[in-house]
Chain A
């Protein structure tokens, strides 16, 4: 079954300028999909449609087999979590524990069960030592990890990351990216990551390139990124390892397009 299926989806904020045009896309259960594209390509609008913060102008959204409607919205949301871009503006509680508790409170989880659930989720994102910390004393990366913990407490099937690392410093980025990978591999949670960080996109199984509200390409990251015509037309940056692989190929070396520096060097000298 597909985790998310978008069927001929269209959307416009003002009724004149379409943001999404007749977009169809399926995201398999348990997969890690990255959506890339320029600002204004419709990436973030897509995220808001999937969790029902916006309603499509035309077309259908199916989440875990259910077509999204006003009636089942809150039910569907129990299975889908989203981490937004700005770490500050989604931190609702006064402390880490309170923030993780927020979703549990909304879902009427009995008070006596909460403490254990909070501690377990905080442990999964490495924030156990900070349960009483206030948001002012946390870094951006830590706040985003708390946001993830708040979602994990709800045991979701799908987590959407809406440019969740774009305001973080490299250290924060790396820690959140590692977290995303772990969620997908160890907990088998379906990941939909909207990003313009190509290094992050290259760790996904499937990359979707959006351009002006339409799907320009779908495929494995190495295949999509090696499509030179597409990448230069949309002026998208390549991840570093692929850039290096291309330079090596140009110099006459026999390497295949790989997504990490280590793998690239390995290709050069398998014997060593």
Chain B
């Protein structure tokens, strides 16, 4: 079932001098089983929108339909708890949410809160560990003796163990070196392709958006600016420039080539194909 967002409005600190409307009537339908990118500048309403997906925030107006739940301004926190199991939210720098003495306990913290049996939890931990690239020898160690990248894997395991239907990721690769970032993204891609999880990715990294996402949603000033399939989206780099984000390298290169008079197939997004196209035209000139 897809995620539906209807006329969603949200206002911070209503009725005070600090009142600020972060979402101004957002309408979206996000497909199930796909990887969808949410992009926009700081202050565009991205993080406010994301916090509605598991009812950390309740709409001021409008509604969110997700994973069989409907969140409206009248939703009670108690009803939202099981929603949070089904919609896993990974915040930026999740390594800062670890707190238990052992990695096993930390990963089991979520399931315990959601009332999942210990037996099932232990089973799930065994399944989740290899997914994030850790093994069982880690379980009894303290999370605080790990490196930054490993801590983040543990924190993500703590969300995956809930077996959520939808995963919302806020800059999951921020601050990692390119190699670790790649491994992290590949992990999420496996979850999408093999386990069919719906993934929402909030990211500034356009290379990642182009490489890993199926659809792109652009937010600007609390509203949806565009929603397009990824390859359609990157045919319009001007949208990105309007929100001061640089297009991916290949999109830049295609543009530069076109400006120099090369004929480039707009659907080309691989360097090797692009090179062949260019080669045929240079050869033609000579």
Direct touch of chains A and B (CB < 8 A): yes
CB interface residues, A 27-83, toward B, < 8 Å: 38-40
Q: Is B265 an interface residue (CB 8 A)?
A: no
CB interface residues, B 238-286, toward A, < 8 Å: 244-246, 249-250, 252-253, 256-257, 260-261, 271-272, 274-276, 278-279, 282
- Given known contacts A250-B272, A265-B257, A269-B260, A169 and B177 CB-to-CB distance under 8 angstroms: no
Q: How distant is the Cα of A140 from the Cα of B127 in the complex, in angstroms?
A: 38
Residues of A within 8 A of B253 (CB): 240, 244, 261, 264-265
Question: In the complex, which of the residues B260, B274, B275 has the most CB atoms of chain A within 10 Å of its own CB atom?
Answer: B275
Minimum CB–CB distance from A167 to chain B (whole Å) comes to 6
Across the interface, name the chain A residue whose C-beta is closest to B171.
Answer: A169
- Given known contacts A39-B180, A171-B245, A243-B271, A261 and B276 CB-to-CB distance under 8 angstroms: no
A198 adjacent to B42 (CB under 8 Å): no
Q: Is B149 an interface residue (CB 8 A)?
A: yes
Minimum CB–CB distance from A204 to chain B (whole Å) comes to 17
Residues of A within 8 A of B14 (CB): none
B260 adjacent to A38 (CB under 8 Å): no
Across the interface, name the chain B residue whose C-beta is closest to A271.
Answer: B285
Question: A191-212 interface mask toward B, CB cutoff 8 Å, 1 = contact, 0 = none?
Answer: 0000010100000000000000
Residues of A within 8 A of B176 (CB): 39
Residues of B within 8 A of A241 (CB): 249
Residues of A within 8 A of B (CB-CB), count: 33
Residues of B within 8 A of A269 (CB): 260-261, 282
Q: Is B178 an interface residue (CB 8 A)?
A: yes
Q: Is B133 an interface residue (CB 8 A)?
A: no
- Given known contacts A170-B204, A261-B252, A268 and B177 CB-to-CB distance under 8 angstroms: no
Minimum CB–CB distance from A202 to chain B (whole Å) comes to 12
- Given known contacts A40-B147, A174-B246, A244-B253, A198 and B178 CB-to-CB distance under 8 angstroms: yes
Residues of B within 8 A of A (CB-CB), count: 35
Q: Is B185 an interface residue (CB 8 A)?
A: no
Residues of A within 8 A of B130 (CB): none
CB interface residues, A 159-190, toward B, < 8 Å: 166-167, 169-171, 174
Across the interface, name the chain A residue whose C-beta is closest to B246.
Answer: A170
Residues of B within 8 A of A251 (CB): 272, 275-276, 278-279
Residues of B within 8 A of A235 (CB): 179
Across the interface, name the chain A residue whose C-beta is closest to B276.
Answer: A251
Q: Is A26 an interface residue (CB 8 A)?
A: no
CB interface residues, A 221-249, toward B, < 8 Å: 235-237, 240-241, 243-244, 247-248
Q: Can you give 21 A-B contacts (C-beta < 8 A)? A: A39-B147, A85-B175, A169-B42, A170-B246, A171-B244, A174-B246, A240-B249, A240-B250, A243-B271, A244-B250, A244-B253, A244-B271, A244-B274, A248-B275, A251-B279, A253-B275, A253-B282, A261-B252, A265-B253, A265-B256, A265-B260
Given contacts A167-B174, A170-B205, A253-B275, 6 further A-B contacts (CB under 8 A): A38-B179, A39-B180, A244-B275, A248-B279, A262-B256, A272-B260
